[in-house]
Amino acid sequence: MFSRFTDFNKKHNTTITDVDKRKFTEVFEQCDEDKNGYLNREDLKVAVVMLFGYKPSKAETNAMMASSIQAGLPGLPLERFLNLMTSKLIAQDEYEKSRQVFTAFDVSCRGFLTLEDFKRAFACVASHLPGQTVQETFRLVQYAPLWLFFYCISTV
């Protein structure tokens, strides 16, 4: 039943496909309105909307622009943009996988995992983790909503 999750721990692929890279590059070029090879804050927000479907907050935009500003660049160059978008894509991918596993183990569709559900989920996707660790993690809360499950999965 859970065989589709067996590659969960193999992921952490830090590369993206050529298709993703081409798409990121195309969006970069479309958003670089003055064609100077850099995205300003507004260009970057539009690019994130086009690629990920949401407008980044001021704080997130600041974080994405920070290294370019510190380096004295007039904006975000393509290479940095590709790195940032790759990280976002990987993070989104991992969250989606966690959500799928979580949903599969939330057998009663209550929106949280019981200790037994939590143990089963971990045995499936992180079997190297000692039962004791799983139990101690769980003891911190009475139940495990998706965000906690995702946090646990992404830190093991």
Q: Which chain residues interact with Ca ion by CB under 5 A?
A: 32, 34, 36, 38
Q: Locate the DSSP E strands across the chain.
A: 38-39, 76-77, 112-113, 144-145
The secondary structure of 103-138 as a DSSP string is HHH-TT-SSEE-HHHHHHHHHHH-TTS-HHHHHHHH
Instruction: Please say which residue, 81 or 118, places its beta carbon nearer to Ca ion.
Output: 81
Closest among 54, 52, 49 to 86, alpha carbons compared:
52
Minimum CB separation from Ca ion for residue 32, in Å? 4
Least distance from Ca ion to the Cβ atom of residue 50, Å: 15
- Kindly tell me which of 32 and 106 has the beta carbon lying closer to Ca ion: 32
Q: Which residues on neighbouring strands pair with residue 145, listed in sequence order?
A: 112
Closer residue to Ca ion (CB): 36 or 154:
36
Measured from the CB of residue 95, what is the shortest distance to Ca ion in angstroms? Answer: 30
Report, in Å, the least distance between residue 36 CB and Ca ion: 4
Q: Among candidates 149, 9, 152, 23, which has minimal Cα distance to 82? A: 23
* Residue closest to Ca ion when measured from CB atoms: 32
Q: Which C-beta is closer to Ca ion: that of 29 or that of 34?
A: 34
